[in-house]
Amino acid sequence: MTYKEDQEQERRDGPAVTDEPAAPVVHKRRIHYSGRYPRHYAEKYKELNPERYVDEIAHVRAKGNTPAGTHIPIMVREILDVLAIQPGEQGFDATLGYGGHTMAMLEELKGKGHLYGGDVDPIESRKTEARIRAKGYTDAQWSLRQMNFCEIDKLVEEVGPFDFILADLGVSSMQIDNPERGFTYRADGPLDLRLNPETGISAADRLAQMDRDELIGMLRENADEPYAEEIARQILKDEKRGTVIRTTRQLHEAIERALEKVRLPRTEAGKLPDRKELIRKSSARVFQALRIDVNHEYEVLYDFMAKLPDALKPGGRAAILTFHSGEDRIVKKAFKAFHQQGIYRDISDGVIRPSREECYENSRARSTKLRWAIRA
């Protein structure tokens, strides 16, 4: 009997009866947590399912926190005011992330025109695409491009210049929250820090490559770290003793050891600063510096800013969100230089900051700066 005949026979007679017992169904219990609230990423199953646990998400946000695995878009109203989107226009969200800004811009288009979304992160961009499609947006209204935003010139060759462009240079909350990505010292995980974990080398491998001078220079240039020498000395000292840094916790502990005996300058009131707070801030800066280095963020931003004018139609608007002084300096200088050359008709006079209310509701908005430019 052939396979096809065997299948037809089974459909007529039902499945074959055997003496072998059926394989038991294995029931996997949901991860539970001790205490009143979840502490670890995997335990926050309610926060990680925002569509299913709406009340839980609202409760977390009401406390001024960002639910795990999600992202709250920053300065949406201010961005929409700057971009002045009209139905029928073509736009580009250069850093798609969780898709919050994209959703807001699609609403402004009112089903007319087209919006492209670009993101270098293959993990989160696929999740965001599913969320946007679930809202009913089709290929006629929105398209995803797996790309680094410095490749905007290639996209322009394909689809033409844009009426409006947004670039949010911050790392998305869902990347920061997931310990497997290694973006924060607050949870232990592999020291990776790549926006696209499928290319390049991890932060751990990059750290092992650097000598003392390169490490100090990286910490100072990328994060203005005041204790760069002490931290670099401790990391290299640990390596000589056989302690190779591979995880986020190991790096944080090295920073703790580097700063635990540093003489702290007294404040104007004659008090010593809090050492734990000093270590926390240095750890945040070190992780920022490594992330910038691993992802070549400054080189990518310089490239993007140089290509941005040619990606805009005459009268096209660009809005850029920055989150630290290094990024902001690059954006400010590029806008000013092109404005002086007459390439931009107008640029922002200073920066636009998030409101006090937004900073209270979303603490991750506090360091945000918005700058804009209009193509001549």
**Strand 114-119 to 312-322 pairing:** unpaired
Q: Which residues of the chain carry a pLDDT beneath 50?
A: 1-8, 10-18
* Closest among 170, 80, 93 to 369, alpha carbons compared: 170
Q: Which residues pair with 144 in a beta bridge?
A: 117
* 132 and 170 belong to one structural domain: yes
Say yes or no: 111 and 164 in one domain: yes
CA distance 212 to 201: 20
CA distance 219 to 268: 27
Residue 18 domain flag: no
Residue 157 within any structural domain of the chain: yes
| pLDDT tens digits along 341-376 | 999 999 999 999 999 999 988 888 899 999 999 999
User: What was the pLDDT predicted at 170?
Assistant: 86
* Residue 151 maps to a domain: yes
**Amino acid 167: pLDDT:** 98
Domain contains 13: no
223 and 257 assigned to the same domain: yes
Q: Which residue range is the domain that position 148 belongs to?
A: 76-174+298-338+362-375
Domain count, the chain: 2
Q: The domain spanning residue 311 has which CATH number? A: 3.40.50.150
Residue position matching structure tokens 């009209």: 86
pLDDT at 235 (0 to 100): 96
Of 294, 323, 349, the residue at which a domain comes to its end is: 294
Same structural domain for residues 214 and 287? yes
* Tokens standing for residue 90: 């073509």
- Distance set, CA 20 to CA 7, 23, 256 (Å): 20, 9, 60
> Among candidates 307, 359, 305, which has minimal Cα distance to 335?
305
224/277 same-domain check: yes
Candidates 249, 245, 298, 123; CA nearest to 196 is: 123
In-domain check, residue 54 = no
Given 263, 294, 325, the domain boundary residue is 294
133 and 146 housed in the same domain: yes
Q: In one letter, which amino acid is 21?
A: P
**Is there a domain that residue 111 lies in?**
yes
Which of 265, 294, 323 corresponds to the end of one domain?
294
The whole model's pTM is what? 0.83
Within-domain flag for 34: no
Give yes or no: residues 288 and 321 share one domain: no
- HEC string of 96-134 equals CCCCHHHHHHHHHHCCCCEEEEEECCHHHHHHHHHHHHH
Residue 186 has a pLDDT of 85
Query: Do residues 81 and 148 both lie within one domain?
Result: yes
The reply to whether 114 and 82 lie within a common domain is: yes
| C-alpha pair distances (Å), 243 with each of 65, 83, 253, 366 | 35, 50, 11, 36
85 with 164, same domain?
A: yes
CB 248 within 8 A of CB 184: yes
Number of H helices, E strands in the chain: 15, 7
Give residue 175's pLDDT: 84
CA angle 119, 120, 121 (to 5 degrees): 95
Tell whether 11 is covered by a domain: no
Predicted pLDDT of residue 26: 55
d(CA 171, CA 42): 20
pLDDT at 269: 80
Q: For residues 276 and 260, give the distance between their C-alpha atoms in angstroms, rounded to a whole number.
A: 9
Within this chain, do residues 204 and 136 fall inside the same structural domain, yes or no?
no
- Same domain? For 155 and 304 the reply is yes
pLDDT score, position 48: 64
